[in-house]
Amino acid sequence: MSRLVVGPFNRVEGDLEVALDVADGRVRSAEVSASLYRGFENLLLGRDPLDALVLVPRICGICSVSQSAAAAAALAAAAGLEMPANGRLAQNLIHACENLADHLTHFYCFFMPDFARDAYAAEPWHAGVAERFRAQRGSALADWLPARTDFLRTLGYLAGKWPHTLALQPGGTTRAITATEQVRLAAVLREFREFLETTLFADRLENVAALASADALFAWAETRGDADFARFVRLAAGLGLDRTGRAADRFLAVGAYAGAGEKGSALFPAGVREGAAGAIAAFDPAAVAEDASHAWFAGDAPLPPARGETRPLADPAAKAAAYSWCKAPRYAGRVVETGALARQLLAGQPLAVDLVATRGGSVLARIAARMVEVARVLPAMESWLRAIVPGEPFCAEWQAPQSAQGVGLVEAARGALGHWLTIERGRIAGYQIVAPTTWNFSPRDAAGQPGALEQALAGLPVADGDKAPAIVQHVVRSFDPCMVCTVH
Amino acid sequence: MKLLWLQASGCGGCTQSLLGAESRRGVFARLAGAGVEVLFHPAVSEASGADALALLADAADGRLEFDALCVEGALLRGPNGSGRFHVLAGSGVPMIDWVRRLAARARHVLAIGSCTAFGGISAGGDNPTEACGLQFDGAEPGGLLGAGFRAGGGLPVINVAGCPAHADWIVDTLMALAGGAFSATDLDALQRPRFYAEQLVHHGCPKNEFYEFKASAQKPSDLGCLMENLGCKGTQAHADCNVRPWYGVGSCIRGGFSCIACTEPGFEEPGHPFMETPKVAGIPIGLPLDMPKAWFVALAALSKSATPKRVRDAATADQPAMLPSIRKGPRK
């Protein structure tokens, strides 16, 4: 058996190391390590509750709004506060803009460049894919980056700047847009739709959102020429990426875009589901516990976040079993996967359901779920924008409670994010964060269960002497990890 | 100009900001056009794992020529000075050691963002990770590289401070360096590029009329000036955010929330809740820079008494109720 250490793992947000034990040409087991500790949970203690809105976005430059939204939701829950309709619509627009930009930044900047590697030079598709997706130089960046900047105007209008806005408040948003700004925002969304419908899909968003099976997806990709997502689907089918990278196949979501679904529910529901055949169980925040048995923290017993603690070890080497600054969150003691695939599976989107039912979670399923989500969310954004009534309020007044607890649950691009807040005597007395990649990239727990990525890596083929197996790159990046959130 | 970029203890937000630079073909094309070649950037380079480590080792040992080192994120010296809170993945070596070695070989060293310049948000509270900037620890010179550090080109660390830094602050600094158009006189006392740091956030503030009349917001989403009650430091913070908008349209204050002075050392510990203005006898403690306190108090009292009803009413609403009057009616 040989050990292969892969790091620094580029084109993920933050610092990541993956150690693989390889035997007989296969990964026998994997250890996923977050090699940076940041300590935000402790920075928050003793502060004014509203200061969380300044600090938590700065955990992460790519899911900054998700962190804001979770903090605002936790504060609102603690205060029992409801926000006016315009505030909810504006928060959802702001959050959706970040999430969609993240999905596509992941696709164009982080994920696709691996197919331009020389390792694939013998593939018939390589020359075209390399021209299009080569890191830093591919022609796709010249299309995507300006489209992204234009789309981020949504945040310029509604949130002032990005990342690290203070526009999301417990009571709504700080920026009441005018009727003329509503018209301009409609143009921003319209032009982004044009980008998606020409460059990414070569098809109407509604047709992509309606893709109903793996077979339909493969057939669709054959008819879409050089559209970027279609290119990926074709090469992924050829490489078998629809059957690569399966993790625990237990999926968790906490609900995305509050109030945007039927009868005031979330647009994409919360829930927990085993594969595609299992029943959907309700998500119970009380079933979440974080285990630090294999992390460089003191305290081995799993703790619910409401009573959680973060005590980094002054001498990490002294804890032999530990190999990461990431704790191991578990749901009812089990490993779960979170992200766009979980959201779309739990929302019953037929392509996501079929991919998981026929093949289990995979590299292709995770990417396809993101793209289907893009195709579903932009039309929702268009409807939210139309529903804003200029002149009506955007923000409810509030008073921070002196003593209270609140949980804020939102869906970042890369999955479920929870903030558990305790206020005592008007100050933050407890703050625990469980981030999406903490779920997906967790180390082992006390029972020895490997985390979701660790499971997805086991069994992958690794050629003798290959120091950077492409297949490992694809599987790791298919989760769209955010390590800086992980090690908050 | 060949560029290496490292990410230390930060959020990656300055890179996300950089990717949003206004440019017809994207920021990399713009940089390439100005002669900036990105040899390595952890968020965008193809090289990963062993390839990336080999590249960094070659640069640190002098086998690979490069010109500029950009570091994004605070430098973690903890626990107990060991630097083990951030070990560069795959290398087993603390990031602070990589940074020291690479900085010693660079012609230019840039601190991207306030974490890298001063410690920033990572150094908040009692600074449990022993975070500092490249050449400052808060407002104190020193930091990881020491106050006496000079890069090969003769300049100290260039502090592109901001949380995050505006894309253009980074791009314009790099383009000026690549074009040989950047010298020591282009830095302010905190080593920030003067082209954006010699202005105040207050310049071009969209709430200026409310400021003039001291017509103040009371709560989030109010249109009024944010200085008196909601903690805004725009009159004290150095940056050109309100004349160089984000994504062509935004800024913190345009977004309806206070400037928290994120380009300044120590902004992370203001000594009061961020969104409240500390006052003594009803007068904000943090007054506009370069203005005698007595004058400010006198002018504030006068302007408050002269506030037009239109401005006073709008200050505590999220939409103006009354339009500016029209001097002349339709031609008869």
Integer distance in angstroms from the first to the last C-alpha of chain B? 66
Closest among A424, A407, A399, A394 to A79, alpha carbons compared: A399
pLDDT at A270 over 80: yes
pLDDT at B332 over 90: no
CB contact under 8 A, A113 and B46: yes
How far apart, in Å, are the Cα atoms of B8 and each of A183, A204, A474, A475?
A: 41, 41, 24, 25
Q: B49 contacts in A (CB within 8 Å)?
A: 6-10, 467-468
Q: At what angle do helices A179-195 and A139-151 cross, to 10 degrees?
A: 160
pLDDT of residue B35: 98
CB contact under 8 A, A8 and B27: no
- How confident is the model over A439-483, as pLDDT tens digits? 999 999 999 999 999 999 999 999 988 888 999 999 999 999 999
For residues B129 and B84, give the distance between their C-alpha atoms in angstroms, rounded to a whole number: 10
Q: B19 contacts in A (CB within 8 Å)?
A: 105, 109, 145, 148
- How confident is the model over B95-146, as pLDDT tens digits? 999 999 999 999 999 999 999 999 999 999 999 999 999 999 999 999 999 9
CB contact under 8 A, A312 and B128: yes
Q: Which two tokens stand for residue A438?
A: 């903490």
Q: A139 contacts in B (CB within 8 Å)?
A: none
CATH of domain B199-318: 4.10.480.10
Q: A113 contacts in B (CB within 8 Å)?
A: 46
Number of helices followed by number of strands (H, E) in chain B: 10, 13
pLDDT band, residue A5 (cuts 50/70/90): very high
- How confident is the model over A173-217, as pLDDT tens digits? 999 999 999 999 999 999 999 999 999 999 999 999 999 999 999
Q: B23 contacts in A (CB within 8 Å)?
A: 145-146, 149
pLDDT band, residue B285 (cuts 50/70/90): confident
Q: What is the mean pLDDT of residues B291-304?
A: 90
CATH of domain A2-486: 1.10.645.10
Q: A33 contacts in B (CB within 8 Å)?
A: 89
- How confident is the model over A97-127, as pLDDT tens digits? 999 999 999 999 999 999 999 999 999 999 9
Q: B255 contacts in A (CB within 8 Å)?
A: 158-161, 165-167, 174-175
CB contact under 8 A, A109 and B14: no
For residues B325 and B303, give the distance between their C-alpha atoms in angstroms, rounded to a whole number: 20
Distance from CA of B108 to the nearest CA of A (A): 22
- What are the extents of the domains in chain B? 2-193, 199-318
CB contact under 8 A, A176 and B318: yes
- How confident is the model over B66-98, as pLDDT tens digits? 999 999 999 999 999 999 999 999 999 999 999
CB contact under 8 A, B20 and A54: no
Q: A116 contacts in B (CB within 8 Å)?
A: 46
Closest among A361, A203, A346, A158 to A268, alpha carbons compared: A346
* Domains B2-193 and B199-318 agree in fold: no
Write the CB contacts of A162 (distance below 8 Å, at least 6 apart in sequence): A64, A65, A98, A152, A155, A156, B16, B17, B20, B246, B247
CB contact under 8 A, A10 and B14: no
pLDDT at B330 over 90: no
Q: What is the mean pLDDT of residues A417-441?
A: 98
Question: Which residue of chain A has the CA closest to B31?
Answer: A136
Choose among A8, A134, A155: nearest Cβ to B247: A155
- What are the extents of the domains in chain A? 2-486
Q: How many CB atoms lie within 10 A of CB B274?
A: 23
Mean pLDDT of chain B: 96
For residues B79 and B97, give the distance between their C-alpha atoms in angstroms, rounded to a whole number: 14
pLDDT of residue A467: 84
CB contact under 8 A, B85 and A169: no
Distance from CA of B95 to the nearest CA of A (A): 9
Closest among A51, A46, A18, A15 to A487, alpha carbons compared: A15
Choose among B16, B251, B319: nearest Cβ to A61: B16
Choose among B128, B251, B319: nearest Cβ to A161: B251
Q: A9 contacts in B (CB within 8 Å)?
A: 48-49, 89-90
Q: B46 contacts in A (CB within 8 Å)?
A: 10, 113-114, 116-117, 134-136
Choose among B42, B91, B257: nearest Cβ to A174: B257
CB contact under 8 A, A160 and B256: yes
Please identify which residue in the block is written with the tokens 């820079």.
B289
pLDDT of residue B286: 85
Q: What is the mean pLDDT of residues B187-199?
A: 98
CB contact under 8 A, B44 and A61: no
Distance from CA of B295 to the nearest CA of A (A): 31
CATH class of segment(s) B2-193? alpha beta
CB contact under 8 A, A62 and B87: no
pTM listed for this prediction: 0.98
